[in-house]
Every structure is written in C-alpha cells, then in structure tokens.
Chain A
Amino acid sequence: MTGNEAIAEAAIRAGCGFYAGYPITPQNELTAYMAKNMPENNRVFIQAESELAAINMVFGASAAGVRAMTSSSSPGISLKQEGISYLAGAELPAVIVNIMRGGPGLGNIAPSQSDYFQATKGGGHGDYHSIVLSPSSVEEAYGLMFDAFDLADKYRNPVMILGDGMLGQMMEPLSLKPGKVIHYPKPWALIGCQGRPANIIRSLLLKDGALEELNLKLQKKYKAAQEKEQRWEEQFTDDAEIIVVAYGGMARIIKSVIRQFRQKNKKVGLIRPISLWPFPVKAFAKQTRKKVKYLVVEMSYGQMVEDVKLAVNCSRPVEFFGRAGGAIPAEGEIIAAIKKLEK
C-alpha cells in the first residue's frame, strides 16, 4: 500500500464516518480510496467544491457527533485554516491530513516540510493549537491515524497528520492490525434536542469575559496535551555526542546516515519527534550529558529548529541544515554537516 492508501484504510477502520476532500497532488490516492471505500462501508464521502467547503463540511459532520476527516496538500491546507480555527474555537474533533508539497505559492509537487510553522503554531487566527503527528513510514502512518481520531475525540480538538509527498506516494508492506477505537460519549453533539435542552455549537462569545474563559479552558487543554501526548523515537542517544533531529520522511534518510557513522564507531544519534505539537521537549530534557550537540535537518529552511532551540534552552549548540522547494538534503550533504559539528 502507498502511504496515502494506508492513511485512508486506517481512517475507515478507526470509524471515520465522514470524509470530504478536494483533489490536489500528492494526496489524490487518499481521496480516491475514500471515494471507493467509504460508501462501501456505509460512510459518507463528498468531493467538495473547494477546500473551504471540505473543512466546513468536516465541521458539520463533527458537530453532528460523527468522526470526520479531510485531507489535502499545502495550498489546500492554507485554505482550510479558517475552518481549523473554527473547529478549535468550537472544540470540535476532526482529523486533517496534510501531505506537504513544495511552496510557497503553487510551488511544486515534490516532498517538502515547509508547512511546519503553519501546522504547529496555530495556522489560522486566534490562540489555538492543533495536535500534530508526523509519521515516517507507511506502517506508522496507518497506526497514527487511529491515534489521531482518538486524540481528536479525547481533547475535542483538531488533529493534523503532517506527512510529505514521499510518504504519501511510497509503497511499503503493511500489516493491517486492528487499532484502538474508543467510543467517546458526545453529549454536546447536534442530533436534535429530544429529551434534553437544545445544544449550541459556537465560537462567538460576546459576553464580558466569556471569550477569555474559553481561551483559558483551551490553554488548560493544551497544557494537558503537552504533559501527556509527547511522542518521539530515539536511537543511540545514550552515548551520542551529536544528536541529529529530524521528523517524517527526512528522518528515514538520517537513520541511514547514522548507521554509517555508527559502523565507524562515531557517536551520532537521532531524536525523531513524532508529535510535532506538543513538541517532545522531554526527549531533550533527558540529554544531560555536557558533550551533546544537535543538528536539525529539515526539508525546509529551518522551522522545527526553533522548537529544538527552545527545548534545549540555548544550553547546547544547535546547528541546522536544510533544503526545500522540492530539494531533499542528500546523504553526502548531511554527512558533511555532521562532520562539521564533530570538529
């Protein structure tokens, strides 16, 4: 299966009842898979007239208590930002998949990691966060979709899967393990007011202090997520003197580079953030050895590197190497960047 198809299949197995999307490369296989398989499973699939419509359809389905998702790629995700802000403000669960491509503008359809800021820092207007998960293999993408729906319901918050064109298009063997599916009660959902007072879903709060109150509630929720939902993978960090930090497809290339260093007994390790928001600061707090230096490698001109710097609080050197616009940092370039740090 390709990453796109694995994400779609996992969504269906996780109980996604509603999908709306608008075609854009490199995620079209996901939409096509949903078009075929959602109706076959008695779920709703809509090809929306735009990404604006798609995200607002997700808003509607979620308001009605149904697990709902959309997928797109960078320019389409930009269009969805207003809707994501509304989802966060109305505290509605939703899953949004961004299979990133090169930008800015129409850019190109090559893999990229240039939407990190947009995904992790809010993206739309207002003080909010989406929970952002980044898979680096087809199998992991499959598994994280179950987590994405679970976290969305648990926190009543949008969750984004941040992949790149590489992951979306890549074919890998996959065992379709059943994932965890918890059914959360949704007493707030709009299903008609029979036997209870009317439910209202809104984010407009005009009364004195009401909007601040909502914001404080959201902040409390984000704090809880920061405490409980940090995820990462690490390799050779016990003794590493240089820790390379990379996520998603980029981390796969880093792993192969690190193997080469280890074969020569060079103390190079890896931290691969899986939750990009909440950022896994705990992974960095553990690295108390004085000697550690960090190298952040991204398919961007330096976005996650800012979070790494915050995580180590300037106590250790943090260097950066990245290329974007469809260019992928090559092994040789990464090796050279690591060697520069060894000095």
Chain B
Amino acid sequence: MDKIYAHPGSLRNTTTHYCPGCGHGIAHKLVCQVIDELAIRESVIAIAPVGCAVLAYDYWDFDCTEAAHGRALAVATAIKRVRPQNIVFTYQGDGDLAAIGTNETIHAANRGENLTVIFINNAVYGMTGGQMAPTTLAGQKTATTPLGRDVKIQGYPLKISELLTQLPGVCYVERVSLQSPTEIIKAKKAIKLAFENQINKAGFSLVEVLSPCPTYWGLSPVKSMAWIKDVMSKEFPLGRIK
C-alpha cells in the first residue's frame, strides 16, 4: 500500500498549547508540509510573533527566532539581507502584523523584501484574552468592545492585505481560509506559492489566513468554521488579491 499521508517531518511530534479547534495548529501543519515538499527545512529561518503562536518554535523543527511584538518583519528583513541564501518567513497574528507592527509591515513590503509572510487573521487578540483586533468585525463583541465593535468609535476592520497591494514591492497577496478541507487545500497551495516566490527571488509575498479562535469567538469549533464561511469571509473575501 502507498503511504498518502504522514506527519510532516519539520513539525515536531508533540502536543501544542492551542485551544481545541484553534486554527494555529492547522496553519503550522500547512507551513511544515510546504517546507517539506520544497525540501527547504535546512535553509529555513522562521520568525515567531508575539501572540498565541509565540511558541511556534516549540513545534517547528527548523531554525527560529522570536521577535518583539509587531517587529517580526524588521527582524526578518535583516536576516534575509545578511543571509539571502536562506528562506526566511514570518508568522504573525493580526494584532502583531496590523496594529503594533503596521509600520514594519508596510515598510518591509514597500522595500520589496524577498520574504514570505503567513498572516493569521482570527479577528481578535487571542493571547491577551480576546480583545478587539484591527480585524475585528463591525458589531463583533470582544473583551474591549463589550457592546460590539462600533465602527463610528473603533473604526472599520482593517484590510491590510488590500492596502499592501498598492505597493509596487509586493509580489503576491492572497486571502485563504481554514473553514473546510477544500479551503485548507487552497490555503496550502497559496502558502506554497508564497515560498516559491521567495525561492525565485520574486519579492514580498503574503498569505492572509482566516483562522478560527473558538475560545474568544464564544463558539464551538464547528460553529467557528461556519462563522468564517458565513460571516467573516464576507468582510474579508477569499482569493488572490494581487
């Protein structure tokens, strides 16, 4: 019999600290599958964010550094500039990438840094207890928007991916979702393309991943997946943006 599925070699064989139904675990696996398929594990340098995925380096079996909250793309920029022969990627949440780190994100993209960015949009701050994120939907209740996000007071969900497409240095932006097996397969393809772009020195590539946070959405894992499909992806449409 042929083996058609196996644990990715670059994903450590351990249990994670993520909540049941969390999307981070799926996204980690996709990244590791792509790295294995492209046979780049030994040249990868990853930058973990500050957020729920801060411990990604406990799960990934390749060189990895932490970065201060929001600064992953500054750290990545320097690593790639001094070691262009390595494959460098950041993995960041919406607070990390699109609130505290917006400046680093826009400028790394605008410099056209030859990097891969995996951007996990779960519409909340998971690690600190479910506060409003820049991507929180209008009306969505969080710890800091107890009555729901009022766009007149807290502004609109920030579509950083769409913003980035305006920059000539950006080569590829796609929004994918973890809501179903079909979408997960598409997500993997997008992640693979984002790494291949770097291998081909094509410039800045970003994949935004709509990812469930059942804990702070107050939904079951199954209902979280349905919420991405029915609600979240209406605000954040899936597909290639650039």
Q: Cβ of A199 and Cβ of B63 under 8 Å apart?
A: yes
Q: Are A60 and B68 in contact (CB under 8 A)?
A: no
List of B residues within 8 angstroms of A193 by Cβ = 41-42, 44, 61-63
Instruction: Select which of B81, B103, B104 is within 8 A of A18 by beta carbon.
Output: B81
What is the size, in residues, of chain A's interface with B at 8 Å between Cβ atoms?
A: 39
Tell me if B176 is interfacial: C-beta within 8 Å of chain A.
Answer: no
CA A63 to CA B78, docked complex, whole Å: 9
Complex CA gap A86/B71 in Å reads 11
Interface size bracket, B side: 20 to 34
Binds B, one of A42-50, A178-186, A245-253, A307-315: A42-50
Does chain B have a CB within 8 A of A141? no
Which listed segment binds B: A200-208, A257-265, A291-299? A200-208
- Please state if B63 and A53 are interface contacts (CB–CB under 8 Å): no
Q: Is the CB of A190 within 8 A of B66?
A: no
Q: Closest residue to B78 on the A side, CB-wise?
A: A60
Query: A54–B103 Cα gap in the complex (Å)?
Result: 12
Q: In the complex where A44-B81, A49-B104, A49-B107 touch, is A194 in contact with B42 (Cβ < 8 A)?
A: yes
A64 touches B82 (CB 8 A): yes
A191 part of interface (Cβ distance < 8 Å): yes
- Who on chain A is nearest to B64 by CB? A200
CB-defined contacts of A64 to chain B, threshold 8 Å? 45, 78-79, 82-83, 86
- Please state if A44 and B107 are interface contacts (CB–CB under 8 Å): no
Q: How many Å lie between the Cα of A204 and that of B69 in the bound state?
A: 12
With both beta carbons as reference points, the residue of chain A lying nearest to B61 in the complex is identified as: A198
Q: Give 8 nearest A-B pairs by CB, closest first.
A: A60-B78, A60-B75, A56-B74, A56-B71, A194-B42, A57-B78, A201-B65, A49-B107
**Further pairs besides A59-B68, A198-B61: 13, Cβ < 8 Å:** A18-B82, A44-B81, A53-B103, A53-B104, A56-B75, A57-B75, A57-B77, A60-B75, A63-B75, A64-B86, A82-B68, A83-B68, A194-B42
On A, residues with C-beta under 8 Å from B are 17-18, 20, 44, 46, 48-50, 52-54, 56-61, 63-64, 66, 68, 82-83, 86, 90, 190-195, 198-204, 206
